[in-house]
Amino acid sequence: MNRRVFFSVCGNACIAASLASHAVAAPPVSGFPEKPIKLIVPTNPGGSIDTIARILSVELANQFKQAVIVENRTGASGMIAAGAVAQSTPDGYTLLITHTGVLQADLLHKNSSYRLSELAPVAEIANTPVVFGVGMQVPVTDLPSFVALARQQPDQLSYGSYGKGTSAHIWAEQFSQRAGIKLIHVPYGGEIPALQDMLAGRITSAWGAVGTYKQYADAHKIRILAVANPVRSKVLPDIPTFIEAGYPEMNASGWCGVFAPAGTPKAVIAKLSQALLKIVHRDDIAQRILVTGQEPTGADEEAFGQRVARDRQTWAKAISDLHITLD
């Protein structure tokens, strides 16, 4: 059976079983942590996930009385960072804080440097709605007027995503298919380059994080038309969801979460999870996370693992339905 097809159909039970198994022996939890912890981030410094990682690193260090080092390993749609953690010793000293892209990369890349089964969920940190925005030069005020303009100008309007096969690419293709419009896809290596080209008028529209786009919308440099989330964003309560605008299939939001290598002792994962939830559930920390545009949640390893499995099935279906392939 084709590997991609197998992963797409195996479902929650297969993923849960895979996450629980790992061949490498690991030391017991007694005394953990006894040395510095490394928290690997797949994005550049300054982004929302990097900001959250640095907040968590300080607070974890205070709890554990051990240094927590943030390390940015960018590139390959997050696969470099995920691969580094998946291949590390499963002892709880190397962690990954990442976004939903870890699912799409696993689904789309046959030769990925990791497989999702090699990562164990530790804690969900935040929900991460993504927004669709246009440059101020585009003569539209809302999503219906954008659709009308795109229908009048097929294959002339463009959208920027943060890479082929990313959630932004998948959402855009779902939207275009449902709306009956044809847009030019311009993939970038990240969120910021796409935003910069939209600001400069080189592309019509783009997708990005709530926190990043809000500051430019507040400065009247871009216009946000809709948010891809089951409910309106807490940060942008006046912006309608795609569901409200008539696109019910656009109901999958992203998340920010922490993973460890599969095979990490359950007691270590539980200790890390409890420490992270203690931080995220503090009102002052929750407010700092909210400023980044992400919505603090704080779910333990079991609940986060269930969401990862559900979301993987959702993205697998979307990728299959839209016939998106990379390699």
Mean pLDDT of the chain: 89
* Sheet-wide strand order for 130-135: 184-187, 158-161, 205-209, 130-135, 222-228
Question: What is the share, in percent, of the chain residues with pLDDT greater than 90?
Answer: 73
Mean predicted confidence (pLDDT) in 282-286: 97
- pTM comes to 0.84
- Given a contact cutoff of 8 angstroms between Cβ atoms, the answer to whether 254 and 127 are in contact is yes
Report which of residues 85 and 325 the model is more confident about.
Answer: 85
Sorting pLDDT into bands at 50, 70 and 90, what band is 29? Answer: low
Is residue 194 classed as helix, strand or coil in its secondary structure?
helix
- The residue assigned the tokens 């040395």 is 35
Mean predicted confidence (pLDDT) in 104-126: 94
Predicted pLDDT of residue 294: 92
Distance, CA of 296 to CA of 128 (rounded, Å): 9
Mean predicted confidence (pLDDT) in 197-207: 97
Question: What is the share, in percent, of the chain residues with pLDDT greater than 70?
Answer: 91
Q: How many residues does the chain have?
A: 327
Sorting pLDDT into bands at 50, 70 and 90, what band is 293? Answer: confident
Distance, CA of 270 to CA of 121 (rounded, Å): 10
Most confident of 25-34, 247-256, 288-297: 288-297
Give the chain's domains with CATH numbers. Answer: 37-128+253-322 (3.40.190.150), 130-250 (3.40.190.10)
Distance, CA of 205 to CA of 91 (rounded, Å): 44
Q: Which uninterrupted H or E stretch holds 306? A: helix 301-322
pLDDT at 270 over 50: yes
pLDDT digits (tens, 9 = 90+) for 83-107: 999 999 999 999 999 999 899 999 9
Predicted pLDDT of residue 99: 92
